[in-house]
Amino acid sequence: MGAITRGIANNILGNGAVDATDALTGTIPATNIGNPSLANLTTFPPSVDAGIPQVAGDPPAPSDGDVWYNTNTYKLRVRGLGAGTWASGGSMNSIKSWPGASGTQTAGLSVGGAFPPSTILAVTELYDGTSWTEVNDLNQARAQLTAAGTQTSTIAFAGSTYPSPPTAQAESWNGTSWTEVNDLNTARRLLAAAGTDNTSALAIAGGTSAISNVELWNGTSWTEVNDVGTARYQLIGAGTTTSALISSGDPAPTAALTESWNGTSWTEVNDLNTGRKDAAGSGTDNTSALIFGGDGPTKLTATEEWNGSSWVETNDLNSARGSTGGTGTAASALVFGGEIPPQTSATEEWTKPESNLNVDLT
Strands, sheet with 236-239, edge to edge from the N-terminal-most edge strand: 236-239, 244-247, 258-261, 266-269
For domain 85-351, is the CATH number 3.30.559.10? no
CB atoms under 10 Å from CB of 173, counted, come to 26
pLDDT (0 to 100) of residue 15? 55
pLDDT at position 75 is 79
Domain spans of the chain?
Answer: 8-81, 85-351
What's the confidence (pLDDT) of residue 3?
Answer: 47
Distance between CA atoms of 179 and 292, rounded to whole angstroms? Answer: 31
DSSP string, 243-295: SEEEE--BSGGGTT-EEEE-SS-EEEEPPPSS--BS-EEEEEETTEEEEE--B
pLDDT number for residue 4: 46
CB 219 within 8 A of CB 200: yes
pTM of the model: 0.78
Write down the pLDDT at residue 116: 80
**Measuring CA to CA, how many Å separate 161 from each of 140, 212, 352?**
8, 22, 37
Q: Is 31 helix (H, G, I), strand (E, B) or coil?
A: helix
| Rounded-to-integer distance, Cα 280 and Cα 193, Å | 11
Q: What is the pLDDT along the chain (362 residues), one digit of tens a residue?
A: 444 445 555 555 555 555 555 555 555 565 555 554 455 555 655 555 556 888 887 887 676 667 888 888 877 777 766 689 999 999 999 999 999 999 999 999 999 999 987 899 999 999 999 999 999 999 999 999 999 999 999 999 999 987 789 999 999 999 999 999 999 999 999 999 999 999 999 999 999 889 999 999 999 999 999 999 999 999 999 999 999 999 999 999 999 999 999 999 999 999 999 999 999 999 999 999 999 999 998 999 999 999 999 999 999 999 999 999 999 999 999 999 999 999 999 999 999 986 555 656 65
Name the H helices within 297-342: none
* pLDDT value of residue 54: 85
Residue 280: per-residue pLDDT: 98
Asked whether 299 and 278 are in contact (CB, 8 A), the reply is no
